[in-house]
Structure 1
Amino acid sequence: MKNIEKCLNLIKGAYDLHVHSTPSHIKRKIDDIELLEMAEKYQMAGVMIKNHYESTAGRAELLNKHFNFKTKAFSGIVLNSPVGGINPYAAESALKLGAKFVWLPTRDALHCLKYGNMEGDFFNREGITIFDSDGNLKSSFFELLEVIKKYNAVLATGHISIEESLIVCQEATKFGVKTVLTHPDWKRTKFPLETQKKISDMGVFIEKVWANFEDGDINLEDFIESIRVIGPEKIFLTTDRGQYNRDYPINCYLMFIDMLIENNFSDEEIKIMTSYNPYKLIK
Structure 2
Amino acid sequence: MDNREKAISLLKGGYDLHVHTTPSHIDRLLDDIELVEQANHYKMDGVMIKNHYESTAGRASLINHHFTFNTRALGGVVLNWPVGGINPYAVESALKLGAKFVWLPTRDSLHCLKFGDMKGDFFKRPGISILDDKGKLISPFYEVLEVIKKYDGVLATGHVSVEESILACEEARKQGVKTVLTHPDWYRTKVPKSIQVELAKNGVKIEKLWANLSDGDCSAESMIDSIKSIGTSSVFISTDRGQKDKENPLDSILSFIELLLDYNFTESEIKDMVSKVPEELVK
Which range, TM-score by smaller chain? Answer: over 0.9
What is the Cα deviation at residue 199 of structure 1?
1.1
Structure 2: distance between partners of 1:194 and 1:4:
32
Structure 1: distance between partners of 2:256 and 2:155:
24
Q: Do structure 1's residue 105 and structure 2's residue 98 form an aligned pair?
A: no
Structure 2: distance between partners of 1:133 and 1:213:
35
The aligned counterpart of 2:91 is 91
Structure 2: distance between partners of 1:92 and 1:206:
25
What is the Cα deviation at residue 86 of structure 1?
0.3
TM-score (norm 1): 0.99
What is the Cα deviation at residue 247 of structure 1?
1.2
The aligned counterpart of 1:32 is 32
Structure 1 stretches of 5 or more lacking a match? none
Structure 2: distance between partners of 1:8 and 1:228:
23
Structure 2 stretches of 5 or more lacking a match? none
Structure 2: distance between partners of 1:60 and 1:221:
35
Deviations along 1:232-273, one digit per CA (max 9) or x if unpaired, are 010001000000001110110100000000100000000000
Change over 3 Å in CA distance of 1:2–1:113 after alignment to 2 = farther
The aligned counterpart of 2:180 is 180
Contact 1:2 1:258 in 2 (8 A): no
Matching residue's letter, 2:149: K
Structure 2: distance between partners of 1:49 and 1:117:
22
Q: Do structure 1's residue 170 and structure 2's residue 170 form an aligned pair?
A: yes
Query: Which consecutive segments of 4 or more residues in structure 1 shift more than 3 A?
Result: none
Deviations along 1:83-109, one digit per CA (max 9) or x if unpaired, are 110000000000000000000000000
What is the Cα deviation at residue 133 of structure 1?
3.7
The aligned counterpart of 1:193 is 193
Structure 1: distance between partners of 2:45 and 2:165:
29
Match runs of 1:1-283 below 5 Å: 3-283=3-283
Structure 2: distance between partners of 1:2 and 1:221:
22
What is the Cα deviation at residue 220 of structure 1?
1.2
Structure 2: distance between partners of 1:209 and 1:275:
15
TM-score (norm 2): 0.99
Deviations along 1:121-162, one digit per CA (max 9) or x if unpaired, are 000000000012443211111111100000000000000000
Give the fraction of aligned pairs with identical amino acids, expressed as a percent.
62
What is the Cα deviation at residue 2 of structure 1?
5.2
Matching residue's letter, 1:197: V
